[in-house]
């Protein structure tokens, strides 16, 4: 009877944490969220729950350390923001290619495997960003500017 509501209970808990976000020190909330997300990752929670936990970590980290814009945390977040589309596009293919090769190592040390795989995906996505996405954006931007100029000339004549 209440199963649809119970499945969404963790969203209620996260909402309550956000509601109380202004009441507790932000760095404390951030490091607590990191600890919870790491424990959830190691304890084999569902993918959705772990993803939401890490989203809370990113949100709270941005809010907690906003005034430290030159810190390493901001640079890391900016880097992942820059390569996020390439990471989104490539991550599943990389999981399918690298997963069978590293399955035995992943069982023995899942945390190390996750860190190494994340670093590998980030490097691969950065290369993809530099070689495909960035030149494509530049070409498309130039094409749009040229098209706009041609269109303005056509409208004047």
> Residue ranges of the domains in the chain?
1-68, 83-157
pLDDT of residue 141: 92
pLDDT of residue 21: 57
45 dihedral zone (left: phi>0; alpha: psi -120 to 50; beta): beta
Question: Closest Cα partner for 63 from 35, 26, 99?
Answer: 26
The pTM of this model reads 0.56
Structure tokens at 34: 């990191």
pLDDT of residue 130: 95
pLDDT of residue 157: 73
């Amino acid at each position: 009877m209440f199963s649809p509501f119970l499945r969404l209970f963790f969203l209620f808990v996260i909402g309550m944490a956000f509601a109380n976000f202004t009441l507790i020190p932000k760095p404390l909330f951030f490091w607590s969220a990191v600890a919870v997300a790491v424990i959830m990752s190691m304890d084999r929670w569902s993918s959705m729950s772990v993803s939401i936990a890490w989203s809370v970590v990113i949100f709270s980290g941005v809010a907690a350390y906003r005034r430290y814009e030159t810190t390493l945390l901001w640079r890391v977040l900016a880097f992942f923001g820059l390569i996020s589309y390439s990471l989104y596009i490539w991550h599943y293919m990389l999981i399918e290619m690298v997963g069978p090769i590293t399955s035995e190592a992943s069982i023995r040390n899942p945390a190390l495997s996750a860190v190494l795989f994340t670093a590998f995906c980030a490097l691969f996505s950065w290369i993809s960003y530099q070689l495909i996405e960035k030149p494509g954006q530049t070409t498309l931007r130039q094409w749009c500017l040229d098209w706009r100029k041609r269109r303005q000339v056509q409208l004047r004549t």
